[in-house]
Amino acid sequence: MIIDDNTVDKIASLSKLQFEGESKQKIKSGMNKMLEFIDKLNELDTAEVEPLIYMTNEVNVLREDVAVNSTSQEEALQNAPKKDSDYFRIPKVLK
């Protein structure tokens, strides 16, 4: 068991998620099962191996930096859960 209640709280806080009661026990057990599963990777010797980071062989794909209006303000606000004529609205930050 690597993941205890404190770890769940810490990772949940980083993930901006919340787990309480039953859902906390469930996520803890789910994560521990997954960790047990991925611990298999410790069997391989990776000392001399470089991490593979980029899956594409393309280097420096360049194009002209031409300004275009691809999204209007109205479109950008279209899906906002709350907005006024010009801005996204969120609950008060300072009280």
Partner 1 sequence: MKDYRSLKAVQEDLTSGATSCVRLVEQYLQKISANEDLNAFLEVFSQSALEKAAQVDLKIAAGNAGKLAGAVIGLKDNICYKNHQVSASSGILANYKSIYSATVTDRILNEDAIIIGRLNCDEFAMGSSNENSAYGNVLNAQNKECVPGGSSGGSAVAVQAGLCLASFGSDTGGSIRQPASFCGIVGLKPTYGRVSRHGLIAYASSFDQIGPLTNNVEDAALLLEVIAGADDFDTTASQKPAEKYSKNLSVTAPKKIAYIKQCIENEGIDPEIKNSMEEFIARLRNQGHVVEPVDFPYLDYLVPTYYVLTTAEASSNLARYDGVHYGNRSKNATDVESTYVLSRTEGFGEEVQRRIMLGTFVLSAGYYDAYYSRAQKIRRILRDKTRAILNDYEIIITPTCPTTAFKIGEKVDDPITMYLQDIYTVQANLTGVPAISLPLGTHSNGMPFGLQLMTSEFQEGLLLAFANSISEN
Interacting residues toward partner 1 by CB under 8 A:
3, 7-8, 10-12, 14-19, 26-27, 30-31, 33-35, 37-44, 46, 49-58, 61, 63, 70-71, 75-76, 78-82, 88, 90-93
CB burial readout 40-79, b (16+ within 10 A) else e: eeeeeeeeeeeeeeeeeeeeeeeeeeeeeeeeeeeeeeee
Closest CB 77 distance from partner 1, rounded Å: 9
Asked whether the beta carbons of 28 and 5 are under 8 A apart, the reply is yes
CB atoms within 10 A of CB 5: 11
Closest CB 15 distance from partner 1, rounded Å: 5
Q: Please, which residue, 5 or 26, has the CB nearer to partner 1?
A: 26
Q: How far apart are CA 12 and CA 1, in angstroms?
A: 17
Closest CB 84 distance from partner 1, rounded Å: 14
Closest CB 64 distance from partner 1, rounded Å: 10
